[in-house]
Homo-oligomer: A and B are copies of this chain.
């Protein structure tokens, strides 16, 4: 009591107060507004709709909007579920939806246009408020104030009924994100006593076989409950002798819903704590007991805020309130995934489906590596090296448990979902290693990298190893894949060099040059090549999909040689022609036909033919640094920072992609960017704030200052790192990783 009264009243909030969780919730950001801890497992958030993943006739494109379960424009809330993806372009999860209500109980959700047909409720946007670690909304149809907060593994709900009537809480085990009939292959519920319920569900979705367990406690005893199965029970046998629908304490099936009734006074809140586990109900019970049982809603909310402050206060900026909101929300968004994926006792479900214990590391899941190898992981290498080591260890555990023996491609909740292309765990590992992060076994890592880079059944890889490129016949994304493999191979080379394995380094140095095999001197583009060595005739350099590319066209992908920029410049005819090409990228307009029917390009995020909402171009603005016009980097970066990120629900111009878009913002705002993860260099851009300081994990400060900036002095003239003038527009990691000072001196001349 002393704690809650005194601390909560006197609590001085840090930078978490600048977080606006609604940024990205409108249109394409695919963010969710509900509470999470940094890298928390539980991400408890309102779901405003549940469009089915597929209709009778196949994939339903509308489902894409609901990757995070939420769209800002919606005026009804279906309920509050405990797991979400941050900013992805495909989805899953939405586990264990709770919805409180009054009056007659409805078991189905209704629709946005007919909310009264189901248990969903209308709400006013004005009643909705979200902070880092806290969310509240007023449900108009039921007169209920909803508040949400969370620990790492326990979502905490506080429901306050404002008017009288039967007070119920509905638990829907069928609900899910990217849902479809049959996705829940099995589920189960057990009412242990009148304040404790456990259960699990097993789903077949993006994660093909996912198990998730919960333990849920109530602050008030249930007075009546019903565990219902809306499925035909194929076999009930001797089970029939029970009255199943009234206070019967267990139920299993594929379409389970539960209703709990409570005797509560008006304004007497009900607190519901829902612990999750990927291991077992016992695991969930342990998580509940350790993280939530001893604490009140307010205490947990307080701790959540403090946890965010602890991360966000490490970076300070000199900026107006609006830009602080944009900056700290971006930083917040870089810390929503990967997610911790183990119980409080260290046990977790591995990729092999078995229960393991994480010894000497903390296990994480949700690796959207095609996106995050670029900026998100390098950002954590700088800000949180110990966390980076945990990420690598988690990926190595994945490789050990993989039936293929390989590192993750896109993994979540003990499953490999095989999304996107490449084997981009390699740059994540090499980047961490090259930048001095230890705490994982480099030799084991190298072996796993080799296995990933030589697993022939993987998309066109066998052909790639034989031919030096992925032939168009082997893959619809043969060019993207070839270029990414070559870059990933370069990372393997770097790792092998560092560990003294020269013969391996030589092999992969050779492979890293494979990008050349798809460069067509005639058209000046990377383009699909057939297995007979001839380029495919049907080729449109503006087309993005299915013609050899993914999430980028030939214009964009032709620049995807981050590990050999000089080589590429030469290949493209030398610096002058190269700069022209770059300039064209940012000026030649992409005709609307090339994105009108794609789901992942937002017109507002385009500069010419450069699509900031998709990742393959994220390094391109910094490509000018390899020419004699590096100032164009600064100009382009500043334009992007100013134009494509804003403090508004539609403040992201594309999927945040597990934080990659936001990581790009944070790096670029600092004035540099990891052009080529796996190298130890950052390319200089243009700092966005006059002062920005970072408290590194080792306690040292890295202070970034801008001198002489004015409306006219818009170009970086000099960069001083710890008193030393840079000769090239690149900073090396070791120059800043122990702190110090970076001074950008601005000037009016380019």
Contacts of A239 in B (CB 8 A): 208, 417-418
Chain B residue nearest to A200 (CB atoms) is B353
Bound complex: CA of A131 vs CA of B691, how far in Å?
86
Bound complex: CA of A252 vs CA of B248, how far in Å?
32
Whether the Cβ atoms of A353 and B249 lie closer than 8 Å is no
Whether the Cβ atoms of A208 and B180 lie closer than 8 Å is no
Bound complex: CA of A486 vs CA of B32, how far in Å?
60
Contacts of A204 in B (CB 8 A): 186, 234-235, 252-253
Whether the Cβ atoms of B352 and A281 lie closer than 8 Å is yes
Quick one: CB contact mask for A102-139 with B, threshold 8 Å, 1 for yes? 00000000000000000000000000000000000000
Whether the Cβ atoms of B190 and A242 lie closer than 8 Å is no
Interface residues of A in 195-217 (CB under 8 A from B): 200, 202, 204-206, 208-209
Whether the Cβ atoms of B186 and A206 lie closer than 8 Å is no
Q: Does A459 contact B (CB under 8 A)?
A: yes
Q: Does A237 contact B (CB under 8 A)?
A: yes
Bound complex: CA of A247 vs CA of B235, how far in Å?
35
Q: Does A30 contact B (CB under 8 A)?
A: no
Q: Does A310 contact B (CB under 8 A)?
A: no
Whether the Cβ atoms of B238 and A410 lie closer than 8 Å is yes
Chain B residue nearest to A203 (CB atoms) is B235
Whether the Cβ atoms of A234 and B353 lie closer than 8 Å is no
Contacts of A353 in B (CB 8 A): 188, 200, 280-281
Bound complex: CA of A282 vs CA of B180, how far in Å?
32
Q: Does A183 contact B (CB under 8 A)?
A: yes
Whether the Cβ atoms of A403 and B190 lie closer than 8 Å is yes
CB A194 to nearest CB in B, in angstroms, measures 13
From known contacts A234-B180, A410-B238, infer whether A209 and B252 are also in contact, taking CB-CB under 8 Å: yes
Whether the Cβ atoms of A418 and B238 lie closer than 8 Å is yes
Whether the Cβ atoms of B209 and A90 lie closer than 8 Å is no
Whether the Cβ atoms of B53 and A235 lie closer than 8 Å is yes
CB A727 to nearest CB in B, in angstroms, measures 45
Q: Does A534 contact B (CB under 8 A)?
A: no
Interface residues of A in 239-256 (CB under 8 A from B): 239, 241-243, 247-250, 252-254
Chain B residue nearest to A193 (CB atoms) is B403
Bound complex: CA of A200 vs CA of B211, how far in Å?
14
Quick one: CB contact mask for A448-461 with B, threshold 8 Å, 1 for yes? 00000000010100
Contacts of A404 in B (CB 8 A): 249
Q: Does A192 contact B (CB under 8 A)?
A: yes
Residue among A186, A200, A248, A404 having the largest count of chain B Cβ atoms under 10 Å: A186
Contacts of A181 in B (CB 8 A): 234
Q: Does A191 contact B (CB under 8 A)?
A: yes
Chain B residue nearest to A459 (CB atoms) is B241
CB A91 to nearest CB in B, in angstroms, measures 11
Q: Does A648 contact B (CB under 8 A)?
A: no
Contacts of A238 in B (CB 8 A): 90, 206, 410, 417-420
Q: Does A354 contact B (CB under 8 A)?
A: yes
Residue among A181, A235, A242 having the largest count of chain B Cβ atoms under 10 Å: A235
Whether the Cβ atoms of B185 and A254 lie closer than 8 Å is yes
Chain B residue nearest to A248 (CB atoms) is B457
Chain B residue nearest to A283 (CB atoms) is B354
Whether the Cβ atoms of B280 and A354 lie closer than 8 Å is yes
Quick one: CB contact mask for A650-693 with B, threshold 8 Å, 1 for yes? 00000000000000000000000000000000000000000000
Bound complex: CA of A403 vs CA of B193, how far in Å?
9
Bound complex: CA of A90 vs CA of B239, how far in Å?
13
Contacts of A234 in B (CB 8 A): 180-183, 204
Whether the Cβ atoms of A237 and B188 lie closer than 8 Å is no
Quick one: CB contact mask for A349-374 with B, threshold 8 Å, 1 for yes? 00011110000000000000000000
Bound complex: CA of A410 vs CA of B242, how far in Å?
15
Whether the Cβ atoms of A191 and B403 lie closer than 8 Å is yes
Quick one: CB contact mask for A397-419 with B, threshold 8 Å, 1 for yes? 00000011000001000000111
Whether the Cβ atoms of B237 and A206 lie closer than 8 Å is yes
CB A617 to nearest CB in B, in angstroms, measures 22
Whether the Cβ atoms of A403 and B90 lie closer than 8 Å is no
Whether the Cβ atoms of B209 and A188 lie closer than 8 Å is yes
Bound complex: CA of A248 vs CA of B238, how far in Å?
41
Bound complex: CA of A459 vs CA of B417, how far in Å?
47
Contacts of A248 in B (CB 8 A): 457
Whether the Cβ atoms of B355 and A280 lie closer than 8 Å is yes
Chain B residue nearest to A404 (CB atoms) is B249
Bound complex: CA of A53 vs CA of B457, how far in Å?
41
From known contacts A186-B202, A250-B403, A457-B248, infer whether A354 and B235 are also in contact, taking CB-CB under 8 Å: no
Bound complex: CA of A188 vs CA of B209, how far in Å?
9
What are 18 inter-chain pairs, A to B, with CB distance below 8 A?
A90-B238, A180-B235, A183-B234, A185-B186, A185-B202, A185-B254, A186-B186, A188-B353, A206-B235, A206-B238, A209-B252, A237-B417, A237-B418, A238-B420, A241-B418, A242-B457, A281-B353, A355-B355
A-B contacts besides A237-B418, A249-B403, 4 pairs, CB < 8 Å? A190-B352, A238-B417, A238-B420, A281-B353
